[in-house]
Chain A
Amino acid sequence: MKLQMKNYKVDDVQFSSETLYSDGVLSLDKDALIKEVMAGVEGIEIKLSIAKPGDKTRITHVMDSAKPVYKLNGPTFPGLVDASEKVGEGETLTLDGIAVVQTGSYPGVMEGIIDMHGEGSKYSYFSNTVNLVVEMNVIDEMSSETFAKLSKEIVLKTAKLVALAACDQEPTSVQTFEKNQNVDGLKKVGYVCYMESLGLFRNVYLYGKDTTDIRPKVVHPNEIIDGALVSGNFEIAAHKNPTYFHQTNPIITELCKRDGKELSFEGVILSTERGVLEIKESYAKEIALFAQEMNLDGVIISKEGGGHADADLMLCVKELQERGIDTVITLNEIGGPNGDLPPIVSATPEADAVISNGNNDELITFDSVETVLGGEMINGSIDAKTSFESSVGLVYCSTNQLGVNTMAIKEY
């Protein structure tokens, strides 16, 4: 399976009378874009804004983010925007340096902020991208299920139409994702991607279908980075894995980079985190059996969320290590403001190789801003324009557990 990513570098985004991409500048006809995205959509209004690195802007109530992509001769975000057909090969246009950020107020959506300047901007990947902020406002009553699906489609459609602007241009670079066949003598490595799929506002879509009830399954890494996996997780800001990081999954891209050189990247096992112990155990075993079938020497495991997810992760480590398969896990910590409390809620001695992406609970002071996008209040109690103290975990993707950031932790 060969996938070619045609990358277009975006240095700046501006609203204009026409939509086009030229020399790193993306111009967007706002009204036309809204009209096209919202065609046939009822009950929701959207507002588009641009937030650039350095702007004195804070984006609040962030639900999800997506990377603008457009699939040539194939479905973009299959099952949600286009037909639910397999992806992972062919050509895909993608814009670098820009994110489509979904925000708005809706009951049950948990807080998450992106600061474009000041102390808070050190912690989010999206403080360094130019963000096209899609603010949603529900005007007709609708069920939470409808909102979840509809809002998702709006954001993804926006991401598709924005990428389309670059369609007739030469890409800045082209990246090929294809399994290297020349892997003699290299250790076989797999990747287990646990997803927090527990129903409404806390789920992940695979080819447009809610994954809440799927059993562990093997997928090709190209499928994930080509838009098959979409986040529907509107919960804890630092714990969730957004669509953007499924599309650019840093573990997958790093394993692809080293495939055929330092290791042989054998594939991805997707699994959901469960709420019942017996099912957690049975899924962990199932994953280990897949790994054994694939003759893996090592497995990197990532999770989404905390609490329950820790138990799924530890059971999986135990099953794999007992079968002689090496594991490395990547997670974040909830060690309290001073970092002296237990950082996770479940542990197993077999988990001897852990990457920590930081402690969510450490306090930082956020600077005041001039502009707020998404909602005027944070957690219903803090005026979003002001300077305030809160935990680093309030920052969208600050301690992201896929290992996007360079945040780490040191024990004193």
Chain B
Amino acid sequence: MGAKVKVIHYLNQFFSQIGGEEQAFTKPFIREGAIGPGLLLGQLLGEDYEIISTVVCGDNYMADNTEQAVQEVFDLIADLKPDLFIAGPAFNAGRYGPACGVLSKAVGEKFGIPAVSGMYEENPGAEMYRKHAYIIKTNDSARHMRKDVAKMANIARKLVENIEFSDEDMASYFKQGYRKNLFVEKPGAVRAVDMMLQKMEKKPFVTELEMPKFEDVMPSDAIKEMKNAKIALVTEGGVCSLGNPEGLVASRADKYIEFDISEMDRLSNERFQVNHGGYNNTHANNNPNLIVPLDLMRAYEKEGKIGSIHGTLYSTSGNGTSLANSTRFGEEIAQKLLNDGVDGVVLTAT
């Protein structure tokens, strides 16, 4: 290797030995070379690596002024052209962990370089930033410093040198949550029977999918005066124009479409159809009002049961749509409805 790999190391007031709690409001500053745990880190990274500078910041300052502090760190290291950023380890220090995490994410993204930190599993910084940096699982305190820093150095080196991780390497950091396909020796059915036998015998097994946790959606308050309410129609039932000139796909939708229905009494099957891979489309194609009940809503409007019907219909096909797309559709449609003074929505799902 020619020139040494340039490393920037980050420490808080305590590990940089500038002081204790009374120094927690110290603004970011920079020291040349390695200090404190950085000396050990430099040694473990080996002679091809050089900790050119150490950035130090007080934990409270970073926690209270995060955005500004990150910018100050950027300014301090902008001219140094680092190849690698290492923060901590923070062990179980509750302010130091998120500080290491936020800087690893920010510096890694800003400079396009690998960023590595280390934390105990209960450190809030681990869960907050594991997706955005390589956060090594450490002990809860500095008593096994050498072992923990060695793991950080190992992952850092492999990232810089583009060496594939071993299973042991992969177990050494908090999962970033990216699931990738691969081929294994046994087919799924055989693995299922193997797992069944282990489970029934109360022997260890490892599930191939941890259950995801879903956000609960709280319904909004009830509308008190329906007779004055402006109601919108929104559907994931795949309503599109006849012949689908909008190109609404039947599954994995990447967009929603909108129609002006202000002059319509019902959805005519000469004007609309559906394109949705999740249910039998025949009946809805004959009568699109089965999916979007404009006909009934107009009757309610005439009877005075509701105030009015919003002039725009929003439609997508909700069939295997990604959570990211669904969330975006929901946010955008909701914002448009709010802007238009809509009070309530009949959201038809299939």
- A→B interface (CB under 8 Å): 108, 110, 122, 144, 187, 189, 198-202, 235-236, 250-251, 253-255, 258, 262-263, 275, 297-298, 300, 306-308, 326, 328, 330-331, 333-336, 338-344, 347-349, 351-359, 361-362, 379, 391-392, 400-412
**B280 contacts A199, C-beta separation under 8 Å:** yes
Residues of A near B193 (CB, < 8 A) are 189, 251, 254-255, 258, 263, 300
- Closest-CB distance, A280 to chain B (whole angstroms): 15
26 A/B residue pairs, CB under 8 Å, sorted by A? A200-B280, A202-B279, A236-B320, A254-B189, A254-B192, A300-B193, A306-B320, A326-B199, A330-B189, A330-B192, A334-B322, A335-B179, A339-B178, A351-B211, A353-B195, A355-B191, A355-B192, A359-B180, A362-B181, A403-B188, A407-B182, A408-B188, A409-B209, A411-B175, A411-B178, A412-B175
Given the known A-B contacts A342-B323, A411-B175, are A254 and B182 also in contact in the complex, defined by CB atoms under 8 Å?
A: no
The answer to whether B190 has its CB under 8 Å from any CB of chain A is yes
Query: Could you mark each residue 182-202 of chain B with 1 if its beta carbon is under 8 Å from any beta carbon of chain A, else 0?
Result: 111111111111011101110
Grouping DSSP codes into helix (H, G, I), strand (E, B) and loop, the A interface class, with mixed when no group exceeds half, is loop
B181 and A409 within 8 A (CB): yes
CA distance A246 to B189 in the complex (A): 13
Query: Contact: A251 with B212, CB < 8 Å?
Result: no
When the two chains form their complex, are residues A403 and B190 in contact, meaning their CB atoms are under 8 A apart? Answer: yes
Report the minimum CB–CB distance from A297 to chain B (whole Å). Answer: 5
A298 near B251 (CB under 8 angstroms)?
no
A390 shortest CB reach to chain B, Å: 11
Q: How far is the CA of A306 from the CA of B191 in the complex (A)?
A: 21
Number of interface residues of B (CB under 8 A): 50
Residues of A within 8 A of B180 (CB): 339, 359, 362, 409-412
B184 x A406 contact (CB < 8 A): yes
Q: Does B66 have its Cβ within 8 Å of any Cβ on chain A?
A: no
Asked if B322 contacts A341 (CB within 8 A), the reply is yes
Report B-chain residues with C-beta under 8 Å of the C-beta of A357: 188
Task: Looking at the assembled complex, report how far the CB atom of B326 sits from the nearest CB atom of chain A, in whole angstroms.
Answer: 10
- Is residue B170 within 8 Å, beta carbon to beta carbon, of the partner chain? yes
Query: CA of A409 to CA of B181 in the docked complex: distance in angstroms?
Result: 4
Give the distance to chain B from A266, nearest Cβ to Cβ, in Å.
13
Contact A189 B196, CB 8 Å, known A110-B250, A403-B191, A408-B188: yes
B279 contacts A406, CB within 8 Å?
A: no
Is B220 part of the contact surface with A, judged by Cβ < 8 Å? Answer: no
Is A343 in contact with B179, judged by CB distance below 8 angstroms? Answer: yes
Measured CA separation A250–B229 after assembly (Å): 56
Alpha-carbon gap, A66 to B87, bound state (A): 58
Contact of A343 among B207, B209, B280, B282 (CB under 8 A): B209
Chain A proximity of B290: nearest CB distance (Å)? 14
Give the nearest-CB partner of A203 in chain B. B280
> Are A330 and B280 within 8 A (Cβ)?
no
Q: Are B195 and A355 in contact (CB under 8 A)?
A: yes
Q: Which of B143-196 contact A (CB under 8 A)?
A: 170, 175-193, 195-196
Closest Cβ–Cβ distance, residue B83 to chain A (whole Å): 22
Question: Is B213 at the interface (CB under 8 A from chain A)?
Answer: yes
Which B residues, 249 to 304, have Cβ-Cβ distances below 8 Å to chain A?
249-252, 277-282
Residue B6 lies at the interface, judged by CB distance under 8 Å to chain A: no
Asked if residues A404 and B189 are in contact (CB atoms below 8 Å), the reply is yes
- Looking at the assembled complex, report how far the CB atom of B136 sits from the nearest CB atom of chain A, in whole angstroms: 14
Given contacts A333-B179, A411-B179, whether A352 and B207 have CB atoms under 8 Å apart is yes
Does B29 touch A at the CB level, under 8 Å? Answer: no
Write out the residue numbers on chain B whose beta carbons fall within 8 Å of the beta carbon of A144.
Answer: 282
Name the distance in Å between B66's Cβ and chain A's nearest Cβ. 24
Of B175, B189, B209, B280, chain A has the most CB atoms within 10 Å of the CB of B189
Interface presence of B222 (CB below 8 A): no
Shortest distance in angstroms between A379's beta carbon and chain B's nearest beta carbon? 8
- Secondary structure class of chain B's binding surface, majority of residues: loop
CA of A253 to CA of B188 in the docked complex: distance in angstroms? 13
- Once the chains bind, are B179 and A326 in contact (CB under 8 Å)? no
Which residues in A have their C-beta under 8 angstroms from that of B251?
110, 236
Interface string of B208-222 (1 = CB under 8 A from A): 110111100000000
Instruction: Tell me, in angstroms, the Cα distance from A110 to B212 when the chains sit together.
Output: 28
User: Which of B211, B250, B282 contacts A348 (CB under 8 A)?
Assistant: B211
Residues in A with CB closer than 8 Å to B197 are 187, 262-263
CB atoms of A412 and B170 under 8 A apart: yes
A304 to chain B minimum Cβ distance, whole angstroms, is: 13
Residues of B within 8 A of A275 (CB): 279
A347 touches B211 (CB 8 A): yes
Whether B214 pairs with A254 at a CB distance below 8 angstroms is no
Q: Are A110 and B277 in contact (CB under 8 A)?
A: yes
Chain B positions within 8 Å of A410 at CB level: 179-180, 182
> Do A356 and B208 touch (CB < 8 A)?
yes
Do B177 and A340 touch across chains, with their CB atoms under 8 A apart? yes
Given known A-B contacts A250-B187, A406-B187, A409-B182, A344 and B212 have beta carbons under 8 A apart: yes
Set of chain B residues within 8 Å of A407, measured between Cβ atoms: 181-184, 188
Name which residue of chain B comes closest to A200, CB basis.
B280
Docked pose: A6 CA to B214 CA in angstroms = 49
B189 and A250 within 8 A (CB): yes
Determine whether the beta carbon of A340 is less than 8 Å from that of B178: yes
Which of B200, B201, B209, B281 has the most C-beta atoms of chain A within 10 angstroms of its own C-beta? B209
A403 touches B192 (CB 8 A): yes
Given A298-B200, A356-B208, A408:B191 Cβ within 8 A = yes
Contact B207 A354 (CB under 8 A): yes
Distance of B115 from chain A, by nearest CB (Å) = 15
Considering only CB atoms, which chain B residue lies closest to A263 in the complex?
B197
B131 interfacial by beta-carbon distance below 8 Å: yes
A318 to B179, CA, bound (A): 25
Per-position binary interface string of chain B over residues 230-255, scored 1 when its CB falls under 8 Å from any chain A CB and 0 otherwise: 00000000000000000001111000
Chain B residues positioned under 8 Å from A335 (CB to CB): 179
For residue B133, give the distance in angstroms from its CB to the closest CB of chain A.
13
Residues on B with beta carbons closer than 8 Å to the beta carbon of A408: 181-184, 188, 191, 208
Do residues A328 and B192 form an inter-chain contact, with CB atoms below 8 A? yes
Q: Which residues of A contact B280 (CB under 8 A)?
A: 198-202
CB distance from A324 to the nearest CB of B (A): 11
Residues of B close to A236: CB separation below 8 A: 251, 277, 320
Is the Cβ of B186 less than 8 Å from the Cβ of A406? Answer: yes
